[in-house]
Amino acid sequence: MKILVAVKRVVDYNVKVRVKADGSGVDLANVKMAMNPFCEIAVEEAVRLKEKGIASEIVAVSVGPAAAQEQLRTALALGADRAILIESDEELGSLAVAKLLKAVVDKEQSQLVILGKQAIDSDNNQTGQMLGALTGYAQGTFASKVEIAGDQINVTREIDGGLQTVALKLPAIVTTDLRLNEPRYASLPNIMKAKKKPLETLTPDALGVSTASTVKTLKVEAPATRSAGIIVKSVAELVEKLKNEAKVI
Ligand code: AMP
Nearest residue to 8 via CA among 109, 110, 123? 123
pLDDT band at 121 (very low <50, low <70, confident <90, very high): very high
| pLDDT on residue 232 | 94
Atom of ligand 1 nearest to the CA of 119: 4
| pLDDT on residue 190 | 97
**To test the ligand 1 pocket, which listed residue (105, 127, 177) has its Cβ within 8 A of the most ligand atoms?**
127
Stretch 229-249: mean pLDDT: 93
Say how far apart CA 211 and CA 64 lie, in whole Å.
Answer: 12
* Residue ranges covered by each domain of the chain: 2-244
**Contact of 7 with 43, CB cutoff 8 Å:** yes
Give percent above pLDDT 90 in the chain. Answer: 91
Task: Tell me the CA–centroid distance for residue 7 and ligand 1, in Å.
Answer: 6
Q: 3-state class of 27 per DSSP?
A: coil
CATH 3.20.20.10 fits 2-244, yes or no: no
| pLDDT on residue 197 | 98
| pLDDT on residue 65 | 97
Q: 3-state class of 40 per DSSP?
A: helix
Task: Tell me the CA–centroid distance for residue 8 and ligand 1, in Å.
Answer: 5
Q: How far is CA 187 from CA 42, 111, 146, 184, 195, in A?
A: 18, 28, 25, 9, 13
Residue 115 predicted with pLDDT over 90: yes
Atom of ligand 1 nearest to the CA of 64: 19
94 lines ligand 1 (CB under 6 A): yes
| pLDDT on residue 214 | 85
**To test the ligand 1 pocket, which listed residue (115, 177, 203) has its Cβ within 8 A of the most ligand atoms?**
115
The burial class, CB within 10 Å (0-12 / 13-18 / 19+), for 241 is: middle
The pTM of the whole model exceeds 0.75: yes
- What number of other Cβ atoms are within 10 A of residue 156's Cβ? 19
126 lines ligand 1 (CB under 6 A): yes
Amino acid at 79: G
Say how far apart CA 111 and CA 55 lie, in whole Å.
Answer: 10
pLDDT in tens, 132-151: 999 999 999 999 999 998 89
**DSSP secondary structure string for all residues of 92-104:** --HHHHHHHHHHH
88 lines ligand 1 (CB under 6 A): no
Could you list the beta-strand ranges (E) of the chain. 2-6, 9-11, 33-35, 57-64, 82-87, 112-116, 138-149, 152-159, 162-169, 172-176, 199-202
**Contact of 112 with 1, CB cutoff 8 Å:** yes
**To test the ligand 1 pocket, which listed residue (36, 135, 142) has its Cβ within 8 A of the most ligand atoms?**
36
Nearest residue to 127 via CA among 103, 100, 98? 98
Identify the residue whose C-alpha is closest to ligand 1 atom 16.
8
- Looking only at the bridges linking them, the beta strands covering 57-64 and 9-11 are unpaired
137 lines ligand 1 (CB under 6 A): no
115 lines ligand 1 (CB under 6 A): yes
Nearest residue to 163 via CA among 187, 192, 136, 142? 142
The burial class, CB within 10 Å (0-12 / 13-18 / 19+), for 150 is: exposed
In terms of DSSP H, where are the helices of 52-93?
A: 69-78
| pLDDT on residue 226 | 85
- Taking phi over 0 as left and psi of -120 to 50 as alpha, with beta for the rest, 85 belongs to beta
| Phi/psi of residue 215, nearest 5 degrees | -125, 135
